[in-house]
Each structure stands twice: as C-alpha cells, then as structure tokens.
Amino acid sequence: MSDFDSQLLHYLPQVLRTNELLIQCPGVSLFFLALGFLTFAKFTVKAFGVVLQTFVLPGTSLKKYGAGKGAWAVVTGASEGIGKEFALQLAKKGFNVLVSARNADALQTLVNEIESSAPPNKNVQAKAIVMDFSKLSDESEWKRFEGALEGLDIGVLVNNVGKSHRAPIYFTEASTQEIEDILTINVNATVRVTKMVLPGMVNRKRGLILNMGSFSGTGIASPMLATYAGTKSFLSTFTSSLAEEVKHKGIDVQCLNTYFVVSNMSQIRKSSITAPTPKNYVRAVLQKVGLACGALWTGRPNVSTPYWSHGILDYLMNLIGWKMVFIRYTHGLHSNIRKRYLRKLEREAKKQ
C-alpha cells in the first residue's frame, strides 16, 4: 500500500463524518454550497467580461470626440515613441493634431508627414509647439503654450509625456535633479496641461483625455523606479477622480495601464508578445476607448489595460492578488537591468 493510500484510509472516516454533518445540518451545507457557487460565478463572469472587452467589443467611436469635424487632438511628448504614434493615428482618424516635445526637427518632420499623408478629401492640419515640460517655472514658456492652444476646438488630449530614470536605480542613489524632473514632467506638467484643456471641453460638452499610466503605478509597485512609479500612481487616482467629476458633461477620462512597449524609454528594441510596437499598442488603445479590458472590475474605475497581452497579465495578477511576489520579481528584474546598463556604460567608456 502506498503512503497516499494509507493516509486516505486514515482520513476516510473523518470525511464520511463531515458528510453526515452536512446532511444533518442542511442550512450550513446550503450556505457553503451557495458561497462556493457565488465565488465561482463571480470568477466566471469577470473572466468572461475581460475576454469580451479585450477581444470582441469595439470601444467608443472617436466621432463622439469630433473626429472628422475639425476637432483637434493634442499629444504631449510626441516627437517619438508612443506619442508620435498617437499623433499619426489620430490624424488618420480625421483629427487635426497639435504635437509637443523638445526636439523641433523631429516635430517638424512629423507635422509634414501628417499633412502630406492625409487623404485629399480630408483637410487634416497639424502644428508643433516646441516645449520642455521640465521647465515648469518658466511662465513665459507656458504662456506661449497656452497661446498655441487658444481658440482650438480640442476633442482629444493625450497626456503622454513622461520621464523615467535613465536606468533602474535605488532612490538613495538617484540624483535630485532626475527625481525633480520626473515629478515635474509626469505630475506638474500633466496637471497644468489638463487645466488648460478641460474647461474648453466642458464648454463644448465633449472630450476625451487619455493619461499614460504604467503597471508600476497602477498595478505593481516598482522597486528601483520608486519616483516614477509614484508619479504614475498619481495619474491613476487623478484619472478616477476627474472622470467622475466630468462624466455627465460628455467627457471621458481614462488612465492607460501599460506594461512594456518598444521605445527609447523602455530600451526594448524588438517587439514580443508582451512588448508590442508603439503602432500596435496605440491601435489597441484607440479601438478600446471607454472599455476597461484587462482592468475590468479590479477596483480601479476608469483605468484601462487595452493591449491584449498586458490585459491578460493585469487580469491574472489581480486574480492571484499576492502583490508582494510580483514586487519582488520586479526588484530582481530591475537589479539585472541596472547591472547590464552599468556593463554597457563600462564598454562604451573603454571604446573612447
């Protein structure tokens, strides 16, 4: 007889006794049966909802926000990466686009590309504002920015500009300048641009605001990117609060919970299942406006995880619920990324 069999024989009388108990107390057994059923039903309904939103249901049509009717889309941090893709794809959907970042040449090239690739029957305009969002104290710069927005019928605002640490680093070792820049760009500048745009949207009774969140702020805390994670967490709460304030005024506000995307910031050059290209990522976002997808019913209203693999990850992590495991994993991951980054710096130094 195996160990398992002998153990089973040992416990069998107890199992039978439990059964008897349940028969003698139908109220108790019914209660536990109902509890089990409800738990299972909740799990099934949730999984079904996530799959339906991620793979089947279309999001809100961008026409609601004025696509093709002369409305503008404002995209910050648009000279490359995810922001540039937002500008290109929103123009294709029929918005005029205003793009902003520091690199004037890259912005001009983008403006030309948008205007020249617009279909002849659609008159899509584009303009650029060169702006350094880390220089918040420069009031004259902000006046110039506000001047460029004046009189525009803005239907969409993508608060995309964001800064992270150059590489993962312990908070105690990070430079004060880098920490301040991250706070200024991710929090202060985002709040300021929103304050410039939202009142006009309220007057026109239509608008969409997309805030670029991150798993580090909305899902799993992020050791060695503490300041960055904190700013993204701010965006998530800012979004949920603002969304409720303006939802009856025809305005939708969403925080995009994002895992890795190929870009200069992520330093991922090759796309994979979990790290899409900006093009595929932005396409998913614009197809799923107004849906929560992987973030559905996770206690984070108006947070959305629209890219399918990110959504499944988000759903699974919330299902498992044991955040500390993922936080420790992230710590290890970032520690390795830092080591590789330091080795790369060493190699580059030797070459010179």
Ligand X SMILES: *[C@@H]1O[C@H](CO)[C@@H](O)[C@H](O)[C@H]1NC(C)=O
Ligand Y SMILES: NC(=O)c1ccc[n+]([C@@H]2O[C@H](COP(=O)([O-])OP(=O)(O)OC[C@H]3O[C@@H](n4cnc5c(N)ncnc54)[C@H](OP(=O)(O)O)[C@@H]3O)[C@@H](O)[C@H]2O)c1
Q: Which of 11, 65, 170, 228 is catalytic?
A: 228
Please tell me whether residue 178 binds ligand X under the rule CB under 6 A: no
For the chain, the farthest-separated pair of C-alpha atoms sits apart, in whole angstroms, at: 86
User: Which residue, 74 or 165, has its beta carbon nearer to ligand X?
Assistant: 165
Q: What are phi and psi of 167, to 5 degrees?
A: -150, 160
User: CB of residue 4 vs ligand X: minimum separation in angstroms?
Assistant: 48
Those residues whose C-beta lies under 8 Å from the C-beta of residue 50, and which sit 6 or more positions away, are 293, 294, 296, 311, 312, 315
Q: Is there a catalytic annotation at residue 259?
A: no
SS3 content of the chain, % helix, strand, coil (to 5): 60, 10, 30
Residue bearing tokens 């995009």: 256
Cβ at position 240, least distance to ligand X in Å: 8
Residues 6+ apart with CB under 8 A from 164: 182, 225, 228, 265
Which of ligand Y, ligand X, none interacts with 260 (beta carbon under 5 to 8 A by kind)? ligand Y
Query: Residue 227 region, left (φ>0) first, then alpha (ψ -120 to 50), else beta?
Result: alpha
Binding test (CB under 6 A) with ligand Y, winner from 114, 212, 251, 295: 212
| Smallest separation (angstroms) from ligand X to the CB of 301 | 4
Site for ligand X contains 252 (CB under 6 A)? yes
Does 263 bind ligand X (CB under 6 A)? Our answer is: no
Distance CA 125, CA 319 (A): 45
Task: Provide the token pair at 105.
Answer: 């040449």
| Distance set, CA 349 to CA 289, 341, 343 (Å) | 46, 12, 10
Residues paired with 98 in a beta bridge: 74, 127
Q: How far is the CB of 182 from ligand X (least distance, A)?
A: 9
Residues 157-186 contacting ligand Y, CB under 6 A: 160-164, 185
Instruction: Name which of 70 and 301 has its Cβ closer to ligand X.
Output: 301
14-22, 37-45, 182-190, 226-234 -> range binding ligand X (CB under 6 A): 182-190
Q: Does 260 bind ligand Y (CB under 6 A)?
A: yes
Binding flags for ligand X, 303-342, as an x/- string (CB under 6 A):
----------------------------------------
194: β partners:
none
Residues 30 and 300: their CA atoms lie apart, in Å, by 33
Q: Is 194 in the site for ligand Y (CB under 6 A)?
A: no
State whether residue 326 is helix, strand or coil.
Answer: helix
Which residue's Cβ lies closest to ligand X? 252
Residue 214 annotated as binding site: yes
Q: Which lies closer to ligand X via its Cβ, residue 188 or residue 280? A: 188
> Should residue 180 be labelled a site residue for ligand X when binding is judged by CB under 6 A?
yes
Does position 302 interact with ligand X (CB under 6 A)? The reply is yes
Q: How far apart are CA 42 and CA 47, in angstroms?
A: 9
Contact characters 123-152, ligand Y, x per CB under 6 A: --------xxxx------------------
Our finding on whether 301 is near ligand X (CB under 6 A) is yes
Q: Which residues contact 3 (CB under 8 A, 6 or more apart)?
A: none
Cα gap 107→113, rounded to integer Å:
10
Q: Tokens 């990110």, residue?
A: 310
Site size for ligand Y, by CB under 6 A?
A: 30
Annotated binding site for substrate: which residue ranges? 214
Q: Which residues bind ligand X (CB under 6 A)?
A: 80, 136, 166, 180, 183-184, 188, 243, 252, 254, 264, 290, 301-302
Where in the sequence numbering do the catalytic residues fall?
A: 228
Q: Which residues bind ligand Y (CB under 6 A)?
A: 77-83, 101-103, 106, 131-134, 160-164, 185, 212, 214, 258, 260-261, 263-266
